[in-house]
């Protein structure tokens, strides 16, 4: 039986939320993105956070082992007690096996609003036909101040972009995420808003 770790003690805007994540430290995609100058991954908050909280990172690394190696039996997937639930608060998708396991968690918990953040749309595209209706997939823009065009990605529901204060002021960017509570906002977890903008911390 799998023992997927659910993170229940988040801080900041994620306070009160629950999530299932993997560690960015063992993800080859994350390692490549961190090398890109001007990217949000260049100064990854998750790298810093999980370095401080080693017990959390141990759980996230174990999740990666469980979720990326094989499709987990439905009976062994968690039953979740929440209205809104996040996938990947600290890491990203490794492969399609992981994503199918996330799809199946959604299917096992049909009344929950799920959201997944990723910078790997190619993985999503491969298995998009299996995507459950109660999951919103959010493409995180790799580059600061540079939203990705998702108009030709029907398998992506929203785009999430981080802007610095200079660009926000100069271009009049509408910041609709920031200094808020995910638990009460829900923009990312429900259909509707397709563009989510956050101010750089």
Give pLDDT tens digits along the chain (201 positions). 569 999 998 988 899 999 999 988 788 887 787 788 888 777 766 565 555 567 888 899 999 999 999 999 999 999 999 999 999 998 999 999 999 999 999 999 999 999 999 999 999 999 999 999 999 999 999 999 999 999 999 999 999 999 999 999 999 999 999 657 998 999 999 999 999 999 988
Q: Distance (Å, rounded) from C-alpha 103 to C-alpha 50? A: 25
- CA neighbours within 13 Å on the CB side: how many for 139? 25
Element (H, E) at 159: strand 158-163
Under a CB-based contact definition with an 8 Å cutoff, are residues 141 and 148 in contact? Answer: yes
Under a CB-based contact definition with an 8 Å cutoff, are residues 120 and 29 in contact? Answer: yes
pTM over 0.85: yes
Q: Distance (Å, rounded) from C-alpha 61 to C-alpha 91? A: 10
């Amino acid at each position: 039986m799998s023992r997927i770790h659910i993170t229940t003690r988040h801080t900041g805007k994620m306070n009160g939320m629950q999530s299932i994540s993997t560690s960015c430290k063992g993800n080859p995609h994350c390692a490549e993105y961190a090398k890109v100058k001007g990217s949000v991954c260049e100064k990854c908050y998750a790298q810093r956070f999980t370095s401080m909280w080693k017990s959390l990172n141990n759980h996230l690394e174990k999740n990666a082992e469980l979720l990326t190696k094989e499709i987990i039996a439905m009976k062994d997937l968690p039953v979740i007690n929440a209205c809104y639930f996040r996938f990947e608060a600290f890491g990203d998708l490794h492969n399609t096996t992981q994503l199918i396991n996330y799809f199946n968690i959604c299917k096992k918990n049909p009344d929950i609003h799920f959201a997944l953040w990723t910078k790997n749309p190619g993985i999503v595209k491969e298995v998009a036909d299996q995507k459950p209706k109660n999951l919103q997939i959010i493409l995180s823009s790799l580059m600061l101040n540079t939203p990705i065009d998702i108009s030709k990605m029907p398998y992506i529901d929203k785009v999430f972009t981080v802007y610095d204060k200079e660009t926000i002021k100069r271009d009049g960017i509408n910041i609709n995420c920031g200094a808020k509570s995910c638990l009460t906002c829900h923009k990312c977890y429900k259909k509707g808003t397709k563009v989510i903008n956050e101010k750089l911390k």
